[in-house]
Amino acid sequence: MGAAETGLIDRLLQLPTLQAGGWLLLCAALFSALQMLTPHDRDQPLVRKDAWLDAFYWLIGPAVYAGISTTIVIAGFWLIFGGDVEAIRHYAVNGADWAADVPLWLQVILVLVISDLYMYWCHRMFHGRTLWRFHAVHHSAENMDWLHAVRFHPVNYIPHAMLSSALILWMGFAPAALMVLVPFNYLYSSMVHANLNWTFGPLRYVFASPVFHRWHHTGPDEGGSSNFAPTFPVLDLMFGTFHMPQDQKPGKTGLVEQDMPATLSGHLLYPFRKRLPGGSVAAVEQS
Ligand SMILES: [Zn+2]
Ligand SMILES: [Zn+2]
């Protein structure tokens, strides 16, 4: 194979959609098998009716968001360095000078903890009255499974995930510390949404489990206004929102509102539509 062909293949492999497609196949094989072995709800179908919608989010999201993410990060660098292109380039590749003295494994742990703290509060904000209808899209699947992890309205996803990564880069962490976490993010967010009966036993307070996050996706009269942390439930313990009763199983997931459409355009337009009687905000935090 010639250099031109090799270069083309390399470039194709860099495409966000193709990379996301690889993760989609891997997660489909892994979590479908696990959901058959240890399901939370045995009656839940392995492939739900609206799975195509989430597969679309999964594949198209990375391509759409890649440009937005780069713009946010560069705009921040531009402000930090007052337009010094050389300084921006150096920072974007290596991180801040302090990052050279901190081992990568330690940076990865710090990135995880800082991101989780940021996402905890961002997630709580989206459960407030003003932003709930954007976040309601994520809560809309009645038969929650691993593929549901990617269902986010862009107005929710951009501050939740992209601003979090931008914040880490603006702080000067080595970009490699974020890259190392890409596989972890795919696998962990799919795992907590999967139809699995895992609680992690005594480690339930340390790491978010599928049951921990399933409680979050139940109605507000169950655990819907609790368990906001993506990875570390200790944040919910600290801020008084931990909910994981050991003698109960989480019930039905989904929305109290009955007016969520089952199409992509319907999801995107939902927060801007006039609220129907009985379709008002219901699953918001009671604060
Ligand atoms: Zn939520
Ligand atoms: Zn979720």
**pLDDT per residue as tens digits for the range 25-55:** 999 999 999 999 999 999 888 888 889 999 9
CA of 218 to the centre of ligand 1 (A): 10
Q: Considering the entire predicted model, what is its pTM?
A: 0.88
Segment 1-22 shows an average pLDDT of 64
The two most distant CA atoms of the chain are separated, in Å, by 64
The confidence band for 278, taking pLDDT boundaries of 50, 70 and 90, is very low
pLDDT at 194 over 70: yes
Amino acid letter at 28? A
Q: Which one is predicted more confidently, 5 or 81? A: 81
For the chain, domain boundaries:
54-272
pLDDT recorded at residue 8: 54
CA of 223 to the centre of ligand 1 (A): 11
pLDDT recorded at residue 140: 92
pLDDT recorded at residue 283: 46
Segment 210-222 shows an average pLDDT of 93
Q: How far is residue 239 from each of residues 124, 200, 233, measured CA to CA in Å? A: 11, 21, 10
CB 118 within 8 A of CB 266: no
CA of 23 to the centre of ligand 2 (A): 18
CA of 63 to the centre of ligand 1 (A): 24
Which residue do the tokens 């000067």 mark?
172
pLDDT at 96 over 80: yes
CA of 271 to the centre of ligand 1 (A): 15
